């Protein structure tokens, strides 16, 4: 083991020798932050497990950045409590500054020092830890290798592509072996092909190191592919904090269903429990010319006006026969690589979009639609 000056960092080096960091838990309780009377965070509670990957997903202005910056210590909330591991870093009597919170951050604009080489940018994260120079060099080179940039150690940031710069930023965030890594839309300045590769690298390295990750995106597919758990934010509140599977299958609200992708939403005329199958049967407006649709509901039906939300994955286009659940007319078709996405008009102007089929159906063609109850959601119309 390497000798260092301070007990805390001795522990970190031991962790590094075993290749694994101990991720810290992150807890927020009743955290509120208002700007000019408007709540950017409204009484937020969240309990993030050590070593887990949490994605903050939500529309622009929903409070994602304010939440991340509050954890980082860049923004000071008005009230509430924030803990990292066993340590309270913010409450009415406590304020731990960012540099003492033992976390690191990856920004969308990479935020590298332009006058330092790639490897020195990484090593800089170790400076205040006062490692011996050879340890600093060893750890920085190892991290450069991990992110596949050994050939670029002596390049300056302006001699690196956007994807390479972001990998340097990732190396810098991980090299100090802190328990929490925060990501502020790290892919938003990268081309699509580079995003795919970097997404894979971030996921692999974070899991390999065992750090707790909190990651902002407004890109649904990025959220679903990276997250152990997704926190959906809207209007400064966490609307749901759950696994990607549960968010997709059992969204709490119309907002979450819409934000995570629906083909369409249809007003429900009547809904009743089918005792034989223990599922609900939904009747839609007769003008839609649709058979009753079976749906499962995970809790009591919400009060008020109900809508049926249908996930794109639940719809299959078929030839119109008496077996199909609905019929409609193809109004749009677009090629999407491995097949076609269709838009279908039902009676009364209702529209279903994003319906995938390997086969192409043509505009104005009459088609049948089969509906899989697993992708049907009964939610309050909001
Ligand atoms: P998101 O990251 O989801 O886009 P933000 O946390 O940036 O959302 O913003 C949440 C709300 O707080 C928005 O209405 C935004 O305008 C407001 N806000 C954020 N930062 C500031 C600030 N420094 N001054 C004033 N209003 C702010």
- Place 13 in a pLDDT band, splitting at 50, 70 and 90: very low
Length of the chain as a residue count: 382
CA of 47 relative to ligand 1 center, distance in Å? 22
pLDDT at 15 (0 to 100): 46
CA of 169 relative to ligand 1 center, distance in Å? 24
If 0-12 CB within 10 Å is exposed, 13-18 middle and 19+ buried, where does residue 105 land?
Answer: buried
**SS3 sequence of 149-182:** CHHHCCCCHHHCCHHHHHHHHHHHHHHCCCCEEE
Are 187 and 195 contacting, i.e. CB atoms less than 8 angstroms apart?
Answer: yes
Residue 346: Cβ within 10 Å count: 21
Residue 164 has pLDDT above 80, yes or no: yes
What's the rounded Cα separation, in Å, for the pair 59 and 105?
Answer: 21
Q: Which of 68-77, 272-281, 329-338 has the lowest mean pLDDT?
A: 272-281
CA of 64 relative to ligand 1 center, distance in Å? 8
Alpha carbon 246 to its chain centroid, in Å, reads: 13
CA of 222 relative to ligand 1 center, distance in Å? 22
In Å, how far are 26, 66, 234, 256, 298 from 54, measured between CA atoms? Answer: 10, 15, 16, 17, 24
Are 280 and 274 contacting, i.e. CB atoms less than 8 angstroms apart?
Answer: yes
Which atom of ligand 1 approaches the CA of 63 most closely? 6
Question: What does pTM read for this prediction?
Answer: 0.89
For atom 13 of ligand 1, the residue with the nearest CA is 61
| Strand order through the sheet with 306-310 | 293-295, 279-284, 264-274, 306-310, 376-380
Please provide the average confidence, as pLDDT, over all residues in the chain: 90
Q: Does ligand 1 have an atom closer than 6 angstroms to the CB of 232?
A: no
User: Cα angle vertex 55, ends 120, 226, to 5°?
Assistant: 75
Closest CA to 185 of 243, 126, 226: 226
For atom 21 of ligand 1, the residue with the nearest CA is 35
Closest CA to 326 of 341, 346, 351: 346
Residue 293: Cβ within 10 Å count: 24
- Place 304 in a pLDDT band, splitting at 50, 70 and 90: confident
Are 180 and 103 contacting, i.e. CB atoms less than 8 angstroms apart?
Answer: yes
Q: Does ligand 1 have an atom closer than 6 angstroms to the CB of 41?
A: no
DSSP strand pairing (38-48 vs 212-217): unpaired
pLDDT at 110 (0 to 100): 83
H-helix segments, the chain: 7-17, 64-72, 118-127, 133-146, 162-175, 192-209, 220-226, 244-249, 254-259
- Place 228 in a pLDDT band, splitting at 50, 70 and 90: very high
Question: pLDDT tens-digit profile of 305-322?
Answer: 999 999 999 999 999 888
């Amino acid at each position: 083991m390497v000798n260092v000056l301070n007990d805390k960092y001795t522990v970190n080096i031991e962790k590094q020798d075993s290749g694994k960091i101990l991720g810290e838990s992150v807890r927020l309780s009743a955290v509120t932050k208002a700007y000019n009377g408007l709540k950017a965070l409204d009484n937020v509670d969240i309990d993030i497990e050590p070593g887990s990957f949490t994605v903050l997903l939500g529309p622009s202005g929903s409070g994602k950045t304010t939440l991340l910056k509050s954890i980082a210590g860049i923004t000071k909330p008005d009230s509430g409590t924030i803990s990292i591991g066993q340590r309270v870093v913010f409450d009415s009597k406590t304020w731990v500054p960012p540099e003492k919170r033992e976390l690191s951050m990856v920004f969308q604009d990479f935020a590298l020092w332009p006058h330092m080489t790639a490897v020195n940018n990484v090593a800089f994260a170790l400076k205040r830890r006062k490692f011996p120079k050879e340890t600093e060099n060893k750890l920085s080179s190892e991290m450069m290798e991990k992110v596949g940039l050994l050939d670029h150690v002596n390049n300056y940031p302006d001699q690196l592509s956007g994807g390479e710069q972001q990998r340097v930023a990732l190396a810098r965030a991980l090299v100090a072996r802190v328990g929490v890594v925060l990501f502020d839309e790290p892919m938003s300045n990268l081309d699509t092909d580079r995003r795919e590769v970097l997404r894979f690298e971030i996921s692999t390295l974070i899991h390999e190191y065992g750090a707790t990750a909190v990651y902002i995106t407004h890109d649904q597919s990025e959220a679903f592919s990276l997250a152990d758990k997704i926190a959906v934010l809207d209007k400064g509140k966490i609307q749901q904090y759950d696994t990607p599977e549960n968010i997709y299958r059992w969204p709490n609200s119309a907002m979450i269903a819409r934000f995570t992708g629906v083909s369409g939403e249809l007003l429900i005329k009547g809904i009743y429990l089918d005792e034989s199958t223990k599922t609900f049967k939904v009747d839609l407006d007769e003008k839609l010319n649709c058979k009753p649709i079976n749906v499962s509901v995970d809790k009591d039906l919400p009060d008020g006006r109900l809508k049926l939300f249908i996930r794109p994955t639940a719809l299959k286009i078929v030839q119109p026969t008496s077996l199909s659940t609905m019929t409609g007319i193809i109004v749009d078709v677009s090629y999407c690589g491995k097949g076609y996405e269709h838009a279908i008009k039902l009676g009364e102007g209702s529209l279903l979009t994003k319906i995938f089929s390997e086969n192409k159906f043509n505009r104005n063609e009459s088609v049948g639609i089969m509906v899989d109850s697993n992708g049907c959601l009964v939610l309050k119309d909001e």
